Amino acid sequence: MSKIFKIKEARKTSSPGVSDSYWLVDKEVGATKFMTVFYEYHPNFKTKRVHYHENRESAYVILEGEAKIHLNGEEHLLHAGDAAYLSPKDIHGVVGSGPSGLKMIEIWAPHDRDVIYLEDGKVVN
């Protein structure tokens, strides 16, 4: 069941003060092996919350703006045209955006939820 559509026509979820997420490829369009989400982070977003996955591999692709990415205890500033590969058990996350916000795509597999959140090194819900 293939599908062609505009990003802004995809199912949208919002996290106030953080980002809007557009679920491009997921179970709702018939995908069974991977997921793809387009994120629009609000300007100057900041958090200490990171996470890891036991089995999931992910890729972040930065389209516009700046992303401050936490990866295994280090922070990296990514810009449009940059990408990051995240392997299973890497502690990672977008922990900040620049003054113009951030537009990025995340792709991951396997499809399962598999997320353990951390804040200040402690597991949180």
Q: What is the pLDDT along the chain (125 residues), one digit of tens a residue?
A: 788 999 999 999 999 999 999 999 999 899 999 999 999 999 999 999 999 999 999 999 999 999 999 999 999 999 999 999 999 999 999 999 999 999 999 999 998 889 999 998 899 98
DSSP state of 4: -
Q: Could you tell me the pTM of the whole model? A: 0.94
CB-side neighbour CA atoms (13 Å) of 82: 14
Q: Into how many domains does the chain fold?
A: 1
In a domain, 101, yes or no: yes
Q: Compute the CA torsion angle 68, 94, 84, 9 (nearest 10 deg).
A: -120
In a domain, 1, yes or no: no
Query: What does the pLDDT read at residue 113?
Result: 83
Query: What does the pLDDT read at residue 88?
Result: 97
For 83, the domain range is: 9-124
In a domain, 111, yes or no: yes
In a domain, 4, yes or no: no
For position 102, which CATH number holds?
A: 2.60.120.10
Query: What does the pLDDT read at residue 80?
Result: 98
Work out the end-to-end distance of the chain between its first and last CA atoms, rounded to an integer number of angstroms: 35
Query: What does the pLDDT read at residue 19?
Result: 97
